[in-house]
Amino acid sequence: MNDFLTDSRFKDIVPFSSRICLSSPTMHGDEQKWVDEAIRTNWVSTVGENINEVEKMTAEIINRKYAVALSAGTAALHLGIKLVGEKLYGQPKIGHGTLEGRKVFVSDMTFDATVNPIAYEGGEPVFIDTEYDTWNIDPIALEKAFELYPDVRVIVVAHLYGTPGKIDEIRAIADMHDALIVEDAAESLGATYKGIQTGNFGAESIISYNGNKILTGSSGGMFLTDKIEDANKIRKWSTQSREDAAWYQHEEMGYNYRMSNIIAGIVRGQLPYLNEHIVQKKKIYERYKEGLADLPVKMNPYDEINSEPNFWMSCMTIDEESMCQQVRGEKDSLYLTEPGKSCPTEILSALSAFNAEGRPIWKPMHMQPIYRMNPFVTRKGNGRAKSNAYIKENGFVDIGADIFNRGICLPSDNKMTAKQQSIVVDIIHRCFE
């Protein structure tokens, strides 16, 4: 293992005195006001004015008619997927999911919270490869997936790292096949596509207020819809599905998924600062783009004509010809230093040695051991069983795996100063010496 602190390439670089985070919460003081108000008035349950206001404010910001505050973005996604499944296939028996025995198309390059709710409802995730233009679901691969599995009726679409995907193409394909979109906008609050906020493009949509997101409640999420009956159903399910009776009576399965009024107080204090955080995050992205322009790397891309990301996470990929040798196992990785070349393992190790936090790109879900038997579709069709040494597949490319192999999430904390960021950039430069 390289000792970067004694490596001559990094001479005169001093470790940061305090850790430069990947993306940490940024508080402004208003959060304390609303938390204190909840405590002072004794509203420390899953009901209260903070929850009411956060639902109202979120719906107004995103321009959806209704928002339901839940304990996490994952909880919101679970209930949204459950709702879509029930609409399509009916109410299941107790102990069975609404998607039992059904395949669901889902973004491959994403966090597992996008995928797991499908399994919660008994569905089988079918992973759709990404594309190089936005790092999101590939419309060509999605169309190919419908050729293989024409009966699929649900598509779960994520906007990776705050960057909108190819929404028009994806929606056109969904409409053509009479499929419903569940939109995972957990990472993309404030991002727009053709002037419209993400969170508007699914039959049901969700956002997250997790601790490292562009706005945070430490946890929490929001279900978004334009139908009052859907909002009411989600609200009922999230409070254990209690029926309108004097006693606790239940006719369907419920969950303890409602947002706490304390968490809502933090979110309430955060929401007015969304645009400010986006501006800060964009400046970080642009400084990286400028500072790394002379290296064989590319920043995470977006559609500059049609979309405006929230720039939650600044990322980069190393050009293939400038990758040093790197081998990754299930838990560990190794690399060989080569002049003029580097790799994610070396750069992330160097950053960590100087007290800065980076992260590998999300490992695609089709590569995860838990989902190793699930279907995976590329723009060439079935993406499984294509690595046999005796079979040379013409033109097969696993785009998600390629981005994962060459990609890095850079320190993107909006409290990082320009001077601190310039040191991060310098460290990356020296990795290529």
**Within a domain: residue 384?**
no
Same domain, 126 and 16: no
- For residue 93, the Cα-to-chain-centroid distance in whole angstroms is 32
- Comparing CA positions, the residue from 180, 105, 113 lying closest to residue 141 is 105
**Within a domain: residue 387?**
no
**Within a domain: residue 102?**
yes
Same domain, 264 and 302: no
Q: Which of 224, 256, 272 is the last residue of a domain?
A: 272
Same domain, 72 and 218: yes
pLDDT score, position 385: 80
Same domain, 68 and 211: yes
pLDDT score, position 387: 65
Taking CA atoms, 231 is separated from 24, 70, 161, in Å, by: 31, 12, 27
**Cβ(64)–Cβ(224) below 8 Å:** yes
Same domain, 316 and 254: no
* Both tokens assigned to 201: 């493009």
Domain carrying residue 142: 30-272
Domain count, the chain: 2
Model confidence pLDDT, tens digit, residues 177-229: 999 999 999 999 999 999 999 999 999 999 999 999 999 999 999 999 999 99
Within 8 A by CB and 6+ apart from 329, the residues are: none
Give every residue of the chain whose pLDDT is below 70, as ranges.
Answer: 1, 387-395
| CATH, residue 410 | 3.90.1150.10
**Within a domain: residue 388?**
no
- Comparing CA positions, the residue from 92, 271, 84, 259 lying closest to residue 183 is 84
Q: Is the pTM of this model over 0.85?
A: yes
**Within a domain: residue 34?**
yes
Same domain, 15 and 78: no
How does DSSP classify residue 425?
H
- Comparing CA positions, the residue from 103, 145, 97 lying closest to residue 125 is 103
pLDDT score, position 388: 61
* Both tokens assigned to 327: 């081998």
d(CA 326, CA 368): 19
d(CA 96, CA 92): 6
Q: Which of 272, 297, 315 is the last residue of a domain?
A: 272
Identify the three-state secondary structure at position 134: coil
d(CA 180, CA 203): 6
Model confidence pLDDT, tens digit, residues 56-83: 999 999 999 999 999 999 999 999 999 9
Same domain, 204 and 296: no
230: number of Cβ within 10 Å: 22
